[in-house]
Every structure is written in structure tokens, then in C-alpha cells.
Structure 1
Amino acid sequence: MSKIIYNKLPKSFSEQVELLEKRGLVIPNKQKAENILTYISYNRLSNYWFPMLKKPKEDEIFKDNSSFETIFKIYQFDSELRTITFQAIEQIEIAIRTQIIYHFSHKYKSGFWYENSNAFSKYPNFIQLLSKITKNVQETKQEYILKYRRKYEQFLPPSWKAFELLTFTSLLSILKNVQDNKDLIPIAKSLGIHHSLLVSWLESFIYIRNITAHHGRLWNIILTIKPEWLKSPKGKWVNRWENDYNPDGHSVEKVDKNDKILKFYASLCAILYCLQFINPYHKYKDQLLNLFDKYPEVDLYHMGFPEGWKEQELWK
């Protein structure tokens, strides 16, 4: 298929409302719709009405009785979902940072263990880590670092100070570059998973965290970075974390769990599973269930929720 030149002209907010109506969208309050489009772009909202389009979806004609109000409710739901999910992943990030500092400081009997190249498998990655920590220490205005530099001879602080400046991604890069994979065992155990899953799960958490931090969409996304299936749970878990969702509408039968399309439900399950070890008193599950009740318009199927998910131990 040959490409064509994009020549569509920008439309006013009122013209955008008219266009949606022409395509079959029910808009009970045009002024309200125009006000919403004034602050939430047409293109951004289009991600939330995609499942409401008739086939072929390229024609952008809405199914019967599709409503602008429903689209906006889903948008609000997604916004609140991002907020509570970001806070949930924050707890995991802090726990991983704590575990890394504790385990390796005790193993090497020094807070400066990260300056030892023998602790790492790849020297270039070790140098990158040192450079990152050095840059952070040079540029930070954090008082606890400034106080350290005024008092102590060593320029770089011990890991329990320096690592507070590292991102989740940098923490993961440390775990991916350890000299001995056995060092992952106690850290993974703190999350209730086998150490062979640690990198996969943390990569998926960082992926979701980055979406939330940049105001992306969690509802109806297909995971491009997905966690590996947990075979031997140490706590409450689920029998499956995928449904038979298929963007082409075809049934998906007898396919291995990790070959099926995974949506946000899989990440939710992984986050909830880890939180029961990190913080047994976390509120994330209650927040999710309250959010689902608050927005009955939201079809959880589009987030990958399988039939009978409420009966799973993890969700009780």
C-alpha cells in the first residue's frame, strides 16, 4: 500500500465535537464536551474510544449508543488508576533499594562495595554505574549528601546514602550486572519470587511506572514488557493472569500463558503479589476495588481481567 501526504487541517474544539457526532458518538452535552476537549486533546481521548469503533476501525465510525460521557469516565478512571499504581510501585522500588544496600554491604562488609569492580560481571557497566553515582553526588542539593561531603574525606558516600539518588532503572542495572547470580536469591525472596524471575518482574514494574510517570494509558494497553509467569507462589496468587482478549476478535485457545496477549491485569497481579510481602497492610487492593466500583462504566475485560477473577485468592 502506497503512502499518502498528510494534509488534514487543524479543527477548532467545536468542530471536533461536530466531527465526533457525525461519526455516530452520542454527546448529551456539547458544551461540556467542548470544554473537555479544550484541556484534553482529541488525539489523547481517541485512545479511550478505540474499542467503541465499528469494524473496520480505520473508518472511525462509532458503534450504536457509544457515548462521550462513557469515554470521559474511562479517562478519569485511568487517571486515578495511574496515581494509585505509581504509589504502589514506589513501595516496591524502595524495598528493592533497601535490599540491595543491605545485602551487598553485608556481603562485602563495606558501604563502598559498589566501587569494587569484582562485585560486577561487566566492567563497562561497572564504570557506567560509578559515573552515574559521581554525577548524582556532584549535582545534588540534598542536604544529607552535602553534609557528608563537608565532613568526610571520601568523595563518594556509602551505598546507603549514594543509592538514594539512583533511579529504579539504575537499581535494576546493578542486579543485572552482579558477579554471582546467587546474590539475587535473598532479594527475590523478599518479594516472594524465585530469583530467576526477579529481573523480568522488575523490568515490568519499571515499564508500568514509566507509563504512569509520563501520564500514559494503562487501560486497554497490551504489555510490551511483561513479567514471566510465577509457577511456585509463596503467598496468595491467581490461576491465570490473561483472558482471551484478541484485537482481531478471534478466540485464543490452548496457548501457553506467556504466549497469550497480556494486558494490565498481569501487572496488577504481580504488583499485588509483591506487596503482600513488602507491606502486608498496603491499601492498593482496596483502592483498586473501590475504583472499580466507582466507575462501573469501565469494562475490565479490556484490561485483561479473566472471568471469575474476584474468586482468586489474590483478590480476596
Structure 2
Amino acid sequence: MKFGKAPTSLDQQVNRLMDRGMVISDRNTVIRYLSHLNYYRLTAYWLPFEADHETHRFFPETKFSDVLDLYIFDRELRLLILDAIERVEVSVRTGFSYHSSQRHGSHPHLKPELFFDKGKYRENLAKLKDEVNRSQRSGEKFVRHFREKYDEPLPPIWAAVESMSFGQLSKWYGNLKSRTDRKAIAEPYGLDEKCLRSFLHHLSVIRNLCAHHSRLWNRELTVIFRLPGRPAELASGLNPNPEGKRRLYNTLVMLVYLMDIVSPDHHWDHRLASLFDRHGIDFDRMGFPKVSSEYSIRLSAYGRTC
């Protein structure tokens, strides 16, 4: 079947929303928002306000400002999550470079025998070379200095790791052959190496969603992570239900847990709880469990349980 929908003007988009029952008090303001926020982008945010998904009729008294508030919440949530991911990423970079260099010298990334999947190793190495070259083009002096002075094709791991994307860091860690190496890197976080490997992959996907301004609220996550069985207080705070595992709650719990380790004086959980509170967010859509725990309490508006 050939696609037959015609493009619509901003005026037509506003008319469509009003015809479906949305309350619009200031037409010009809505047009201004729609000129900067793609109508199609906003459809995911007004879905919960639809009384009928077939006709797209809205519940009575649904206002455009309600949809906009949900959109703003999601944007602020992405920025807050990126803040936590940045600190976790820098910490894991440090652990990866420190432990691998302590055991294997300055250039473990140039030793294919340390990695169990040689095909993935070659892919990761080629990508790392590209990223290091990009760092040099963007003005990173350490790359130019290294290449002017030394013979190796890449800087030592403690420098090269600074050019790795989070996705690449996750792949390098996951491909380490030695379980001893993986355990040494995971140990400061109190996590099993398999759980850390799984969560880093998951978190790299979340980071990409945030970086590309994709919706996180009410998203069904396609890459879920292995839930840790220890420490007990962490394990008891996670939502093991199949549906809950595909929502954002478990990701937030893991980030709070890791922030407690990498930045003990943080107030990230308070900032997150405050964000939920300001926007009156439905915790069910975030995957919060029905039974409260230390983490669900920390994440839900300063002690207001879900």
C-alpha cells in the first residue's frame, strides 16, 4: 500500500488537536511550539491523554500545556541522567585503564591475546584508531605530542581511553578474556563482572537515547540488563517483573547505587525525586514496583512512596 497522508500546516495541526478535543487557550502560543517541536515528536507525549487510540479523541479537559509539561519533564530527565552517566563513565574509564595497565603494561589495547573474540577486537581497535584520530583533529594535544615522540600506533591506555565513546568502553570491557581482569574492574562497584558488563551495555544504549534527544518517559527498553543479586539492599530495590525490567526504574536505581560509590556527596537522587514531584509523574509508567524499598523511596519525592 502506498503512503497517502498529506503534510499538514501548523494551522491544520492545531485544528486537528482541537477537533480531537484538546483544550487550546492560546492558538498562537501552540503554533509557536509546534514550529519548533515536531508534531510527530509530540504524539508520544499525548498518547496517555487519549481516551480512544482509534479515533485519537482526548479525555475531556486535556490541555496542550499538559502535554508540554510531560515533554519538558522528559527533556529534564534526559539531562539529569546524562549527568549521572558522565560520572559513571569517567569512573569506569579510570578503572579500565588502571587495572588493565597494572597487569598488562601501557598498551593492553594493542595485545589481541588479552581479548577472547578476535573479530570484535579488530573492530574495536579500528574504531579506537578512528576516535583517536578524531581527537587529534579536534585539537587534543596529547595525541599529536604522542605521535611526534613515540613509535606505537596508539597512545597508552590511560590516554587512549579518553577517546573511547561509552559504547566502545563497554565493548572493550566486555571482550576482556581474563575474568580476573573483569572482576578487578567491577570490584570497586560491589558488582559481579557479568552484571557490570551487562549494565554498561544497557547504559550505553540509554546514553545514546539521551544524546539523540529520544523519549525516555514511558519507553519500553529493548536492551535490558542482568539484575545483580548482591549487594542485598540493591537487589531488593530492583523490579524483577518482566514488564518492570523493560522500564526505566531499574536503570535509575542502578545509577543511584553507582553514584553513591563514585560521588558519595551527590544529591542526584534528591534532584530526580524533585523532578518527579514537580511534574506529578505516574510512577507506574516508569516501572516503579508496588512494594516500596530504600531506592523507590529515595526516588519518589523525598519519601513519598510509589
SS in 2 for 1:54: strand
Query: Following the alignment from structure 2 to structure 1, what is the Cα–Cα distance between the partners of residues 20 and 196?
Result: 47
Question: Tell me, which stretches of 5 or more residues in structure 1 are unaligned?
Answer: 243-255
Query: Following the alignment from structure 1 to structure 2, what is the Cα–Cα distance between the partners of residues 187 and 73?
Result: 41
**Aligned partner of 2:48 among 47, 51, 54:** 51
Q: Does 1:16 align with 2:23?
A: no
CA offsets 1:193-214 (integer angstroms, 9 cap, x no match): 1122112111111111011000
Structure possessing the higher relative contact order (Cα contacts under 8 Å, 6 or more residues apart): 1
8 Å CA contact 1:272–1:314 kept in 2: the answer is no
**Aligned partner of 1:135 among 130, 141, 155:** 130
Which residue number in structure 1 is paired with residue 284 of structure 2?
301
**Aligned partner of 2:62 among 66, 69, 93:** 66
Query: Following the alignment from structure 1 to structure 2, what is the Cα–Cα distance between the partners of residues 237 and 216?
Result: 28
Which residue number in structure 2 is paired with residue 31 of structure 1?
28
SS in 1 for 2:58: coil
Query: Following the alignment from structure 1 to structure 2, what is the Cα–Cα distance between the partners of residues 217 and 282?
Result: 25
Give the residue type in structure 1 aligned to 2:279: Y
Which residue number in structure 2 is paired with residue 120 of structure 1?
115
TM-score, normalising length from structure 1? 0.86
After superposing on structure 2, the runs of 4+ consecutive aligned residues of structure 1 that deviate more than 6 Å are none
Which residue number in structure 2 is paired with residue 180 of structure 1?
178
Which residue number in structure 1 is paired with residue 273 of structure 2?
289
Query: Following the alignment from structure 2 to structure 1, what is the Cα–Cα distance between the partners of residues 127 and 289?
Result: 42
The alpha carbon displacement at 1:222 in A equals 1.1
CA offsets 1:271-299 (integer angstroms, 9 cap, x no match): 11111111112232121122123223x32
Query: Following the alignment from structure 2 to structure 1, what is the Cα–Cα distance between the partners of residues 294 and 143?
Result: 49
Give the residue type in structure 1 aligned to 2:287: G
Query: Following the alignment from structure 1 to structure 2, what is the Cα–Cα distance between the partners of residues 68 and 220?
Result: 19
Distance 1:33 1:190, change over 3 A: same
Give the residue type in structure 2 aligned to 1:137: V
**Quick one: percent identity of the two aligned structures?**
29
CA offsets 1:152-208 (integer angstroms, 9 cap, x no match): 233321111111111111111112211122321122222221122112111111111
Q: Counterparts of 1:146-157 in structure 2 under 5 Å? A: 146-157=144-155
Give the residue type in structure 2 aligned to 1:21: M
Question: Tell me, which stretches of 5 or more residues in structure 2 are unaligned?
Answer: none
CA RMSD of aligned residues (A): 2.1
8 Å CA contact 1:222–1:261 kept in 2: the answer is no
The alpha carbon displacement at 1:84 in A equals 1.2
Give the residue type in structure 2 aligned to 1:16: Q
Query: Following the alignment from structure 1 to structure 2, what is the Cα–Cα distance between the partners of residues 26 and 42?
Result: 16
Give the residue type in structure 2 aligned to 1:294: R
Distance 1:309 1:46, change over 3 A: farther
Aligned length: 296
The alpha carbon displacement at 1:259 in A equals 6.1
